[in-house]
Amino acid sequence: MADVKGLSDHALSILAFAAYHRLVSGERVTSVVRKDGNGHEADPKGVEELTERGLAEAGETEINLGKDAQEAVEVMVEALRGAVR
């Protein structure tokens, strides 16, 4: 299992973006946009950290989240829900 403890805010911003999509779609998120061509770009330091830790694979325009990163997103979503219930 890849290490998700102690992620920087840079890396967490990418997982938070995935959590947003999880909440909106109701579906498990397996990838997020890295660069959309319209000015949105995932934090480069975060991308580097996630890939170095084996949590994601990054292409030019997309970040594919590994199973451990996907599970971390699910935990984040449940924590968000729990914080307001």
Contact 42, 9 (CB under 8 A): no
pTM of the predicted model as reported, rounded to 2 decimal places:
0.92
Q: Tell me what pLDDT residue 2 has.
A: 67
Contact 70, 28 (CB under 8 A): yes
pLDDT tens figures, 14-57: 999 999 999 999 999 999 999 998 998 999 999 999 999 999 99
Closest CA to 20 of 50, 44, 2, 42: 42
Q: Tell me what pLDDT residue 6 has.
A: 94
Contact 14, 42 (CB under 8 A): yes
Q: Is pLDDT above 90 for 1?
A: no
